Structure 1
Amino acid sequence: MSDIAGVAHEPDGEPTGVVLLTHGAGGSRESPLLIRLCDEWAGRGWLAVRYNLPYRRRRPKGPPSNSAASDQQGIVEAIEWAHSLTPGPVIAGGHSYGGRMTSMVAAAQSADLTTLTLFSYPLHPPGKPERARTEHLTDIAIPTVFTHGTADPFGTIDELARAAALVTGPTRIVEVTGARHDLGSKTIDVPKLAVEAALILTGR
């Protein structure tokens, strides 16, 4: 899977479809959240792949820098690769920056996606709600799941609800009480709730 710098979590038997998940700024495919999410998806019968964005393939550490266009192209290539494997649905998304880049691919309709699954969508920089990153959401017409912590400094649940309302496709919000941007929780099974919400929107 070197073409998309991915790690596959394979289900028992023929997969229902493919799920592609990528990381936040400063992160990588080794994110504990991505690993747990892919394990959950594989346990539900899907081939789940966590992969590095192009900027991370070029540099092992550090945040993205002027790489949005190439990162989005990397997402398009990953989705096209997934379609070569299965006639079934392809779901894609990611954490923070990775989710935002995938949402921009969905908005541009650059690739054929069934459902979008976004974790800790970075609505704005912390403390700067006037710098909203929501303009493209009105162009998203596919089902979209937002999984978000109530203590996330990149956006409140109320802000997220207003942003989700911009999406023209069906949406669901998975609210993680007390969680910050990493979606860590000792009491809530975040992967289980997020995967179940995506399955419902996907009609599975």
Structure 2
Amino acid sequence: MSLDDIAGVAHLPAGPPAGVVMLTHGAGGSRESPLVIRICAEWAARGWLAVRYNLPYRRRRPKGPPSGSAAGDRDGIVEALTLARTLAHGPVIAGGHSYGGRQTSMVAAEHPELVDLLTLFSYPLHPPGKPDRLRTEHFGAITVSTVFTHGASDPFGSIEEVRDAVRAIPGPVEIVEITGARHDLGSTSLDVPALAVDAALRALSDPPSAT
């Protein structure tokens, strides 16, 4: 398997990579998402091999919402994370924006051996205006460290709702709050990629103590 098989684009560090970061896109996007590109560029600048890749539904058609089975998209994530272990030594960090992050977190819950850390951007906690329809059934099975980067004005879940929901995650969690940002995590005052990468590196350098 190669990057072409997952429609992946690599951002290369200047020297030997410290590890691999695999990021994917939201429901209406692709690997060309400006946010995902910026995050991958930040990881590469920090010495990591960062790959942005398309989910299976986006490989089948260039535009439009997810089509087919979400389970099929998760199969594509498993393929991407399996490939990541062959690309470089070191930890594998996985995640994505919105839908892509949610599906990746479900893969991590089912296959924790594939992921050393989750980095989730604008996790779609519930549909806008429907806070009773939580998408958290798998949270209790997430054992890897997880970083949620979330806009304070995201209609898919408030910061308070996210804080409440992540209590179900047994693994270590950090929430990076982006003041004033909505679901696209746009900010004129904060460097969102840098803040997210800082949090992920903190989580990697401070693993949970054995109990």
1:177 Cα shift? 0.4
1:110 Cα shift? 6.2
Aligned positions of 1:66-105 closer than 5 A: 66-105=68-107
Aligned positions of 1:143-162 closer than 5 A: 143-162=145-164
In the superposition, the TM-score normalised over structure 1's length comes to: 0.98
> Between the two proteins, what is the percent identity of the paired residues?
69
Q: What are structure 2's unaligned runs of at least 5 residues?
A: 207-211
Cα distance change of structure 1 residues 77 and 110 upon mapping to structure 2, 3 Å threshold: farther
2:167 equivalent among 165, 168, 177: 165
Q: Give me the whole-angstrom Cα distance separating, in 1, the residues matched to 2:177 and 2:112.
A: 29
Native 8 Å contact 1:80 1:111 kept in 2: no
Deviates more, 1:95-104 or 1:158-167: 158-167
- Structure 2 partner of 1:25: 27
What secondary structure is seen at the aligned counterpart in 2 of 1:20? strand
Describe the superposition over 1:91-120 as per-residue Cα deviations: whole angstroms up to 9, x where unpaired. Answer: 000000000000000111265110000000
1:66 Cα shift? 3.7
What secondary structure is seen at the aligned counterpart in 2 of 1:172? strand
Structure 2 counterpart of 1:17, which letter?
G
1:106 equivalent among 97, 105, 108: 108
Describe the superposition over 1:153-191 as per-residue Cα deviations: whole angstroms up to 9, x where unpaired. Answer: 000000000112111110100000000000000000000
What secondary structure is seen at the aligned counterpart in 2 of 1:41? helix
In the superposition, the TM-score normalised over structure 2's length comes to: 0.95
Q: Give me the whole-angstrom Cα distance separating, in 2, the residues matched to 1:110 and 1:11.
A: 26
Describe the superposition over 1:119-147 as per-residue Cα deviations: whole angstroms up to 9, x where unpaired. Answer: 00000000000100011011000000000
The aligned length equals 204
What secondary structure is seen at the aligned counterpart in 2 of 1:99? helix
What secondary structure is seen at the aligned counterpart in 2 of 1:154? coil
Native 8 Å contact 2:112 2:144 kept in 1: no
Q: Give me the whole-angstrom Cα distance separating, in 1, the residues matched to 2:83 and 2:69.
A: 21
Native 8 Å contact 2:112 2:142 kept in 1: no
Structure 2 counterpart of 1:23, which letter?
H
Q: Give me the whole-angstrom Cα distance separating, in 2, the residues matched to 1:99 and 1:67.
A: 16
Cα distance change of structure 1 residues 61 and 111 upon mapping to structure 2, 3 Å threshold: farther
Q: Give me the whole-angstrom Cα distance separating, in 1, the residues matched to 2:204 and 2:81.
A: 16
1:67 Cα shift? 2.1
Q: What are structure 1's unaligned runs of at least 5 residues?
A: none
- Structure 2 partner of 1:134: 136
1:59 Cα shift? 0.9
- Structure 2 partner of 1:202: 204
What secondary structure is seen at the aligned counterpart in 2 of 1:84? helix
Tell me the C-alpha RMSD between the 2 structures: 1.0
Structure 2 counterpart of 1:54, which letter?
P
What secondary structure is seen at the aligned counterpart in 1 of 2:168? coil
